[in-house]
Amino acid sequence: MDILASIRKMLVPIHREGYVFILAGVVAMLVLGWLWEPLFWLCGLITCWIIYFFRDPPRVTPLGGGLIVSPADGVVSAVGRAAPPSELGLGPTPLARLSIFMSIFDCHVNRSPIDGRIAKIAYRPGLFLNADLDKASEDNERNAFLFETPHGQLALVQIAGLIARRIVSAVTEGESPQAGERIGIIRFGSRVDVYLPEGFEILAGQGQRAIAGETVLAAFGADRRVHGFRKG
């Protein structure tokens, strides 16, 4: 029983969005492998990558109502100020923004960056440019969330990438997820933008690797002092 418990701890859960792709990979292995053996091994490698892509590991989120944690695994590709998506109704004034780029090798399960109520979810169709490009924030297909928090309104935007073709939400308007809770997934390479309320100090830097639900991106005054975070 101890051995079985240890094996279960080692196995990383798979997001339900991946089941159909994994099944398709297994079927391709059997059918194409029957026709030509090298295709069995090729499809096997692809299926292993699909399993890896749709992994959904547990995360330990730091406590603090004034903390903003990363909503995605990946690299902080941009830190600056930009106007939030017009469909959220926040106006044209630029806000502090952090962008996290997810490669096809990153976990693509997105998590809530902060405790708050989801006041609005707005989907907008668009292009599928390379998500690492700055103009992808405006031109690509996206799904935007407006969070109401004790520190102000926060916007989170899921952006489809070059080969991403579906953005899936796991929450609805009116729900109040806690920081680190799963809110959706983007399939196959993409980006997430976070627009911060005024008063938050950005603690993450461009080029830094972030872990969804764990890496602190920004903090509100008192929480930064209590938790002892230092930029960089």
DSSP readout, the chain? -HHHHHHHHHSPPB-GGGHHHHHHHHHHHHHHHHH-HHHHHHHHHHHHHHHHHTB-----PPP-TTEEE-SSSEEEEEEEEEPPPGGGT--SS-EEEEEEEE-TTS--EEE-SSS-EEEEEEEE--B---TTSTTHHHHB-EEEEEEEETTEEEEEEEEE-SS---EEES--TT--PPTT-EEEEE-SSEEEEEEPPTTEEE---TT-EE-TTTSEEEEEHHHHHHHT----
Q: Which of 70, 77, 112, 190 is catalytic?
A: 190
137 phi/psi in degrees, rounded to 5: -60, -30
Whether 190 is a known active-site residue: answer yes
**Facing residues of 75 across strands?**
101, 209
**8 A C-beta contact, residue 76 and residue 216:** no
- Catalytic residue numbers read 190
